[in-house]
């Protein structure tokens, strides 16, 4: 694929807030109500801790909070829908009462997504891009919820990193259209570290701007991922802050519209600085 200039996607309204692309990078904060998160931040079912974390992220600059109840780390133990709901619904219900920013439900199960939307979530984040459960796209279409479609390369052969990502995301958009979900309500995610070698993951960031031809806003989630640890000599999860910052800055320079992160305060600052360089510094908008 070759990089080319494309028109900016139209704004998307999420939870009553308009997200206009191209003006700045939005920050999505991660709240894991799991016992086995790869990043070491799993809160299990501790609703009070989840609420405190989300409120702090909001104060630190998060634009969206993404709540997940099933780990997606390599070799993760799958949980049934009833267990996932038991983890996420109390947190989402409470967060919907206390947050003034949108809540996203990170799940690939339509049953979980439906319950989460009823509890107060306003967006769906599917790490399988509707390819495992197409009815999730139908749910988003029926409820009016925007959706994130991620390309997941696990258990698939790869000969062309960007080509595989583009083809996978086009398939997600096709499934969505088939289910009645307009691509104007979809954000795409190339799936950093979901089935890629370290070299392929780095290539993904280096060539991210080539995915602009899809015409959709791009979300990138590199935060604390294993590729960062490998590149930096085997650093553990808790020491990957600077590496994450580098990947976030590069992703923004190459076209990311949203960055999904654990360390919101630090990465919001990185995003603001990167935006000032890439999009132009406007003191009245960026310095406060």
What is the number of domains present in the chain?
1
pLDDT at 4 over 70: no
Query: Does residue 11 fall inside a structural domain?
Result: no
Mean pLDDT of the chain, nearest integer: 91
More confident call, 130 vs 37 = 130
Query: Does residue 126 fall inside a structural domain?
Result: yes
* pLDDT at position 71: 76
pLDDT at 43 over 80: no
* pLDDT at position 92: 97
121 close to 66: Cβ distance less than 8 angstroms: no
**Mean pLDDT score, 36-65:** 80
- pLDDT exceeding 90 applies to what percent of the chain? 81
**Mean pLDDT score, 21-25:** 96
Q: What is the CATH number of the domain that holds 48?
A: 3.20.20.20
Q: Which of 103, 182, 178 is nearest to 135 (CA)?
A: 178
**Mean pLDDT score, 58-66:** 98
Query: Can you give the residue range of the structural domain that contains 81?
Result: 23-278
pLDDT at 159 over 90: no
Catalytic residues: 225, 260
Query: Does residue 168 fall inside a structural domain?
Result: yes
* pLDDT at position 36: 52
Query: Does residue 183 fall inside a structural domain?
Result: yes
Q: Which of 128, 52, 117 is nearest to 89 (CA)?
A: 117
Query: Does residue 27 fall inside a structural domain?
Result: yes
- Paired tokens of 13: 């309204």
For 211-236, how does the pLDDT look when each residue is reduced to its tens digit (9 = 90+)? 999 999 999 999 999 999 999 999 99
Query: Does residue 15 fall inside a structural domain?
Result: no
Q: How many CA atoms lie within 13 A of 200 on its CB side?
A: 19
Query: Does residue 287 fall inside a structural domain?
Result: no
* pLDDT at position 2: 42
29, β-bridge pairs: 65, 261
Query: Does residue 10 fall inside a structural domain?
Result: no
For 138-152, how does the pLDDT look when each residue is reduced to its tens digit (9 = 90+)? 999 999 999 999 999
């Amino acid at each position: 694929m070759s990089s080319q200039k494309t028109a900016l996607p139209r704004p998307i309204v999420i939870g009553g807030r308009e997200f206009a692309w191209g003006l700045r990078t939005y920050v999505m904060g991660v709240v894991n109500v799991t016992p086995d998160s790869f990043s070491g931040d799993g809160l299990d079912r501790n609703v009070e801790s989840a609420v405190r974390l989300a409120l702090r992220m909001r104060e630190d600059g998060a634009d969206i909070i993404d709540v997940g109840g099933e780990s997606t780390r390599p070799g993760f133990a799958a949980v049934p829908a009833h267990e996932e709901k038991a983890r996420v619904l109390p947190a989402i219900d409470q967060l919907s009462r206390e947050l003034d920013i949108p809540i996203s439900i990170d799940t690939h199960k339509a049953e979980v997504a439906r319950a989460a939307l009823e509890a107060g979530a306003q967006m769906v984040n599917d790490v399988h891009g509707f390819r495992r459960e197409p009815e999730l796209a139908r749910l988003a279409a029926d409820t009016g919820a925007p959706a994130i479609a991620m390309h997941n390369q696990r258990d698939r052969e790869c000969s062309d990193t960007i080509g595989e990502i583009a083809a996978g995301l086009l398939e997600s958009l096709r499934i969505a259209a088939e289910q009645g979900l307009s691509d104007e309500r979809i954000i795409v995610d190339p799936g950093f570290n979901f089935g890629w070698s370290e070299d392929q993951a780095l290539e993904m960031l280096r060539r991210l701007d080539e995915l602009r031809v899809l015409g959709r806003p791009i979300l990138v989630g590199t935060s604390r991922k294993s590729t960062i640890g490998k590149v930096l000599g085997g650093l553990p999860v808790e020491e990957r802050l600077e590496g994450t910052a580098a990947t976030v800055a590069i992703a923004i320079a190459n076209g990311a519209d949203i960055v999904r992160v654990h360390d919101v305060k630090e990465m919001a600052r990185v995003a603001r600085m990167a935006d000032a360089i890439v999009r132009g510094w406007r003191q009245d908008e960026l310095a406060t």
